[in-house]
Chain A
Amino acid sequence: MLFSSITFLYFFLPVVLLLYGVVPKQAKNFILCIASCLFYAWGEPIYLFLMLIQIVIAYGLTQIMEKKRDTKAGKVIFILAVLIPFASLFFFKYFSFLFRELLGIAGSSMKTLVVDVPFLGKLDLLNIVLPVGISFYTFQLVSYIVDVWRGETAAQKSLLKLATYITMFPQLIAGPIVRYKGTDKALDDRETHVKDYADGIVRFAIGLGKKVLIANTLGDFVQEISGMSGNSIALAWAYALAVTMQIYFDFSGYSDMAIGLGAMLGFTFPENFNYPLISGSLTEFWRRWHMTLGSWFRDYVYIPLGGNRVGIVKWIRNILIVWMLTGIWHGAGWNFVVWGLFFGVLLMVEKLGAGIHENKDDLTQKKSFASVLWKGIMCCGRHVYVLVAVLISFLIFNGMTMEESWQDIQNLVCAPIWMDELSVYMLRNRAGILLVAIVGATPLPKRLWEKLTLRFGTEAMCEVDSKTVTMSMIVFRMIQIIMVAILLLLCTAYLVDGSFNPFLYFRF
């Protein structure tokens, strides 16, 4: 089920929130787990069982593993527990791709290979359908298993609670990747404060707006010009910008909705995006983009490989492994491998050059005009470099094939003319949404909101120990209510009017 669907917004969500609100504490996990299973099964009923089986296996194996942690048997169980979700992920996500590539190398032009599989029916091994959200819940399962193995958390004794954690519908199919360590206490006992609930509603509405009003509209624009980006250099750059913004607003909008829904249900989910497009380096970009995935790879791959506390050759190996895995996590295709390695290489260069930057920063301490100017130029240059690199990376990411991506990149400089009449029209037609997207990708709206909040003291009003409520505070909260209502109405209007509504990150 999509968050941005009428089924979810006006039927599933109110029913679940009301039920969840009225049942006693002991029954909340049960309601949430059942609702989450229904949510998942709504789109892919068959694959619900795949997820549930993996949860049961992980539950069983971690119980044994915890007891036999220091034994060889424990180690074997640990390896088995980790391998099962990864094997499932490999089969459903990568098997078809690798099989097709191997057949291609062998000179075969086979397009389908259908076999009968119990429960699943006929399965085309060359075109296996990817279960929704498998990359996300696999990583959550693995993080849970590893944390239990490391002794950083106790194995969950309740199968229901573990299932609730893995299946929890707000984050099930597109993240953020919620670690068990930070959620275990809330699974046992949680309370939803009315302020958190209200803030969750605001966050959810903002996320919905980012997805439906901005990402989908940019998606229309991307579709309109996808075959024309070679017309002019301006259109090629607009295409790259629109693709990047679409992916950003789609994914960060989904994360906002997930965090908002989590707050309504009494959970605190980690932030996933922090205005990545304002970054001054790619290192900073990846600290701000899909933060939960980055930290997962850091904690479960990079650091176990030795991180940066190894020799330079091993460090390069570690970086390349992590970024290749990051690439293929996003999809089974060569463009995703190249996309990951593209970032890996640039991040290595950045890290190797970090010392030089530090020296330059020292120079600027003198605060001469030249040094200030130099710092300004370097600052602008860094942002331009990040934006260009990110735009190019998402052209690689977005292409159906590497050839298509390469063509899109070439168009940025090799398109026959700078601007033609069609490009002018296209850009004028979508100037509004591009402007909204550009401003929305910066912290400006948030800072403005925070200033207004401080000015009217609404934040103070919402504090538990607040004692006075002024008329301006009430008016300010009313404005929030009206804004949420407008966002909901507008999103509903867009949903009713159009059918273009795919969630990009579902294929991961």
Chain B
Amino acid sequence: MKQSKLINRIFVGLFLVFLCVMAVLFLVLPKAEYSTVERRRLEDAPKITWAGIRDASYMDDLEAYLLDHFPFREQLRSLKAFFAYDVLGQKENNDIYVVDGHAAKLEYPMSESSILKAADKMKALQEKYFPDAKVYYAVVPDKNYFLAEANGYPSLDYEKLETLMQEKLTDMEYISIWDTLTIEDYYTTDTHWRQERIGKTVERLAEQMGFSEYVMTEFEQKEIKDFYGVYYGQSALPLPSESMYYLTNDVIEQATQFNVETNQTKPVYELDLLEDETLMDKYNIYLGGAVAIQTITSPLAEREGRLIIFRDSFTSSLAPLLLNAYSEIILIDTRYVSSGFLGNYVDFTDAEVLFLYNPLVLNNSTMLK
């Protein structure tokens, strides 16, 4: 009897000790300010206020704080991912799936109305700001284009997407770049393409926009180690890091970018960001990451010309490769600035215009202001 009681006591004791140890660890372990793998600022400890207690928002904030700083958080997230993938046999975790070492985020179903709205917004910009300019548009294939359908995952109907855009944007010239890329041209843990592997895409753009003879071919390729893309954190799977490279030469190094929001001029590659411990995404070294409006000036460009690109983050790594063909490139991201105010900041005269969006933006076009 004593022995059986002892075993049960050990059981109860272990249970209580486990709960208490986790609680104590939470209290004593240092709290991180940022989660680099998830690329977000973690919750701060909520302040106790009467209003917060009365409407229970304090309790919600406290739970969020506990979840964000729970001991062994990353290991627990990996455990969940392992259980979902390997035990329950899910084909994705948090909408991230992995095929042949490439992580991608599911995007479906296709919203035709969103794509048509995106096209309408592009058309409205053309009519308002640059009705007489030469306007081009291209769709950057996302990783699902290469991975989803071929591996049994739901995907967008890319042909339909292309057709919808073409039917709407009759006054713009379409540049198809789908066949200039393969899945190997993308980071395995990130949504973006690799700058060192988009030469064919640049050539295709140059061919149709008429700057083939100014395409740069000689670069020095510099390595940045231990790059973990956005899907690494979201998937919570033990994916390996990879190296990212940036291409540079005299033309790029002499060029500068001016950020309209901060009024600051910086080099094209913001390598000083790598020294910043709070840097969430190393991809931000390309033109400083998400910026509403920025102007790149290229004093060594072989051709005088202005190009305005309405863009998403893919263009950050593409634009530097065009700096020999245009002495000024203006990048506009209408996810961060309202289209209605653009006239106050951007001179559209004598400029060519390129719309360059990936399908994830087009399929969620409410983010375009």
Contact = CB atoms under 8 A, between A and B. Distances in A.
Given A14-B16, A45-B53, A195-B8, A7 B79 contact: no
A46 interface: yes
A431 B7 CA distance: 38
B224 interface: no
A256 to B, nearest CB: 16
B15 interface: yes
Contacts of B53: 45
A424 B152 CA distance: 9
Interface in A1-52: 1, 5-7, 9-11, 13-14, 17-18, 42-46
B336 interface: no
A463 B15 CA distance: 21
Given A425-B152, A497-B77, A433 B88 contact: yes
B39 interface: no
A231 B339 CA distance: 37
Interface residues on B, range: 35 or more
Nearest to A501: B63
Given A425-B91, A429-B91, A477-B11, A490 B4 contact: no
Given A197-B12, A464-B1, A484-B15, A428 B91 contact: yes
Contact of B19 (A14, A42, A462, A474): A14
Interface in B2-57: 3-5, 7-12, 14-16, 18-20, 22-23, 26, 53-54, 56
Interface in A387-440: 421-422, 424-425, 428-433, 436
A485 B18 contact: yes
Interface stretch (A318-326, A328-336, A465-473): A465-473
Interface residues on A, range: 35 or more
Interface in B102-125: 108-109
A484 B142 CA distance: 43
Contacts of B76: 489, 492-493, 496-497
B62 A496 contact: no
Given A6-B67, A469-B3, A13 B18 contact: no
B219 interface: no
B254 to A, nearest CB: 46
B92 A429 contact: yes
B90 A430 contact: yes
A477 B14 CA distance: 12
B251 interface: no
Given A198-B12, A462-B8, A497-B80, A44 B70 contact: no
A14 B24 CA distance: 11
A474 B4 CA distance: 9
A312 B62 CA distance: 57
Interface string A169-213: 000000000000000000000000011011001000000000001
B348 to A, nearest CB: 41
A480 interface: yes
Given A43-B59, A493-B83, A496-B76, A10 B1 contact: no
A466 B8 contact: no
B278 interface: no
Nearest to B7: A477
B236 A497 contact: yes
B16 A492 contact: no
B88 A497 contact: no
Contacts of A201: 11-12, 15
A481 B14 contact: yes
B206 interface: no
A44 B7 contact: no
B133 to A, nearest CB: 41
15 contacts: A1-B59, A6-B67, A194-B9, A195-B8, A422-B109, A429-B91, A461-B7, A481-B11, A484-B15, A493-B77, A493-B79, A494-B80, A496-B80, A497-B76, A499-B67
Interface of B: 1, 3-5, 7-12, 14-16, 18-20, 22-23, 26, 53-54, 56, 59, 62-63, 66-67, 70, 73, 76-77, 79-81, 83-84, 87-92, 94, 108-109, 152-154, 236
Q: Which 10 A/B pairs are nearest by Cβ-Cβ distance?
A: A432-B88, A432-B89, A493-B80, A14-B19, A493-B76, A469-B3, A6-B66, A497-B80, A198-B8, A493-B79
Given A7-B59, A42-B59, A217-B88, 18 more contacts: A7-B62, A7-B63, A9-B19, A18-B16, A46-B54, A198-B11, A422-B108, A461-B4, A473-B7, A477-B8, A480-B11, A481-B11, A488-B18, A490-B79, A490-B80, A496-B80, A497-B80, A497-B236
